[in-house]
Each structure stands twice: as structure tokens, then as C-alpha cells.
Amino acid sequence: MNQLPTYLDYASTTPLDSRVLEAMIPIFLENYGNANSTTHLFGERAAMAVKESRQIIADAIQAQPEEIHFTSGATEAINLVLKGAFKSYGHQKPHIITSQTEHKAVLDTCAYLEEIGAEVTYLTVNSDGLIDLNELASSFRNDTLMVSIMAANNETGVLQDVQRIGEICKSKKVLFFSDATQAFGKIPIQVLEQSIDLLCFSAHKIYGPKGIGGLYVKKGIKLTPQIHGGGHEFGLRSGTLNVPGIVGMAKAIQLCLDELKETSVHLEKIRNEFEKEMEGAGKIKVNGKHAPRLPHFSNFQLLKEDSDAFLLRNRNKIAVAKGSACNSALIQPSHVLKAMGLSDQDAENSIRVTYGTMTEINPQHNNILKSF
């Protein structure tokens, strides 16, 4: 086995774009100062790099630079939003609305908050994975603090109607947080236009480095910090800034947005051809097929083969996911697919294929088809 399998698990993480690496190298080797040590040129240069990166990321989502806060990734950002808002406002408004198909970072944090007094409503989804906006509207209470609904699902790629959800939350004067970790850099996100108050993202899902992410917090919202010490990031998140990571993330989002249209069109074509051919041959049934989806996602039930047998047979050919990576340590059928109405067995027999830029550079589409 000399040749690596074809990577088709871009939703779990992406390789680093070499242009991102190039942007990061001088920060490691030359401008390695602490961005808070501005008594000398090293620190000043680091601070300048952070400032420029913050501006790029803010511009990418229609935010102001001081509304962007860097964290170690989306999981930390999600913890900061939910716990930080509950700590600040939960004594008066302990009610949170979320959905059954959120990422575990949201669901596990909500479960923790329930232990310390929060009340959480988990919206159901239809068979295509979409929440019901009427159910959302009727779930609001006088003490509702926040609605936490993801932009794109990490298992199916299904896109919720963020714009409408934002409008509803705005009319109810309730905070709207969207976990946009999968959507960021893949579809346009405009926090003002879409009435989003809080939004998280992560670099390693968009060809940036692992261990860096961030949070948009609309001016005026007071989250209680979850990490203390030094008051970095406008007092919200202490700790020496990951300058190479920040610079890499800014470069990554810039590249994604520059190439967004081209990449989406290409990957959607590959995805649609794959699904058409496989469904035509009666080999798969696509999950979330009738909902709007991210263009590079395909999640489907295998109809003619057991998923474990499939994975074993193709282990050296293609790298795909069963359920989500975050759940795969647990032997449990996907909570997302079950919420969409799949039986344990159908959820168990589902596979996630996610395409990416390497699929584009090096089309191995025929190889992929032959694996099924």
C-alpha cells in the first residue's frame, strides 16, 4: 500500500492550503513576537498582523473588527457563547431554544447548562433535516434568552433558513447564535443582513490550521468570560494570541471567499453526478436530499451493503465518514439522522462523503464511483 486513499472527509477537517502555510511561515520564524508585547518591534509586528487579520475576518461577515474574538476553535467559541450568555443573563432569562440536530458542542453544553438551571427546548426537524419555523415561533417564552441554530449541519450539509430565523429572533428581541463552522467560507454569511447576533467559525474546516477559531459577538452583548487571565481579546478570552493561527485563518477565509463560486459549482457538479448515478443504480438513498445543502456534502444510506463491510472493503481506496467524526468514538447511530426519522439501522448504514479542493485539483471521481 503505497498510495494513500482518496480523501473524502473534508467536513471533519481539511488539509492546509499551501498559500495559507506561506502566509504563516514568517510569523513563526521572523515576526514571532507576543501581540501584547508592544514595547518592541517584534510585538508591534505581531499586533499589526493580528489587526489586519481581524479586519479581514470582520469584512468577510459584515462585522466590525472589535466584534471578532479569537478562540482555540469552534468548540471553545460555542462554550463561550452559551455559558457566557447564560452566566450574564440566565438569572432573568434561563430559556434557550436549539435543535435536535446541532453539533455535540452545542448539545453537550446545553445539557450542562440544564444541570445548572437552564431550560432548553430542542426543536425537531423534518425528514430533510429542516427545523419548522412555526414550531420555532411558538417556542418563544418571556424568559427566552437565545436561539442557537446551526447554519449548515456537519453530517448532512443541510442548510437552515438562517435569514428567516434571524428575522424571527429579531422580532422577538431574542439573541440569535448560529454555529456556522461548516458554512463559513462555503456560502456567503452577512451577520447584519441575516440578523445574526453571535456566530462561530473554525479555521481547520476551511483549509486553515487546526487549533484556531473565532466568535462574532454583536456590539452591546455582554458574555461572561470563561477563561480568565490577562484580559486579552477585549477582556472576553484571555491567553497569548495564536498569531500564526490567526494569520492563517484570515488567509484561509480570504481564499475561500475569492474562490467560493468556482469551488461550489465544481464540487456540486461532482456531488450531483455521484448521487444521480448511485441512486439510479439503486445503491444509495440520499439523506436530506430535498433540503438546500452545502454543495460538497453527500450523506446517504447504503442499500446493498453493510456500512462496516463497505468501509473495510474500501479502507485503502477512499477516506469517508460514518456518522460524524465527533460521534464516531461512541458506537451510537447518528443523532442527526435519527432526528430526521431514520431507524437505528438506516442511520447505522449511512455514510458521509464530503468533497474538497483536492478533489478539484486531482479528480478521482471514477475511482470513487468504482468503490460503490
Ligand X SMILES: *Cc1c(COP(=O)(O)O)cnc(C)c1O
Interaction site with ligand X (CB under 6 A): 73-75, 103, 105, 150, 154, 179, 181-182, 202, 205, 213
**Host H or E run for residue 297:** strand 297-302
Q: Judged by CB, which is closer to ligand X: 271, or 352? A: 352
In whole angstroms, how close is the CB of 130 to ligand X at the nearest point? 16
Residue tagged active-site, from 110, 169, 256, 326: 326
326 given a catalytic annotation: yes
In whole angstroms, how close is the CB of 325 to ligand X at the nearest point? 8
Residue 179, phi then psi, degrees to nearest 5: -75, 105
- Please report, as a single letter, which amino acid is at residue 1: M
User: What is each CA distance from 284 to 104, 147, 241, in whole angstroms?
Assistant: 26, 34, 46
CB atoms closer than 10 angstroms to residue 92: 9
In whole angstroms, how close is the CB of 150 to ligand X at the nearest point? 5
In whole angstroms, how close is the CB of 162 to ligand X at the nearest point? 13
In whole angstroms, how close is the CB of 214 to ligand X at the nearest point? 10
Give residue 126's Cα distance to chain centre.
21
- Please report, as a single letter, which amino acid is at residue 109: T
Q: Judged by CB, which is closer to ligand X: 105, or 174? A: 105
- Residue 99 in contact with residue 125, Cβ under 8 Å? yes
Q: Judged by CB, which is closer to ligand X: 43, or 211? A: 211
CA distance 43 to 35: 5
Q: Judged by CB, which is closer to ligand X: 78, or 169? A: 78
CA distance 50 to 44: 10
- Residue 10 in contact with residue 354, Cβ under 8 Å? yes
Q: Which residues, in sequence order, are CB contacts of 142 under 8 Å at separation 6+?
A: none
Q: Judged by CB, which is closer to ligand X: 105, or 291? A: 105
CA distance 4 to 242: 31
CB atoms closer than 10 angstroms to residue 319: 17
Query: Closest-CB residue for ligand X?
Result: 73
The set of catalytic residues is 326
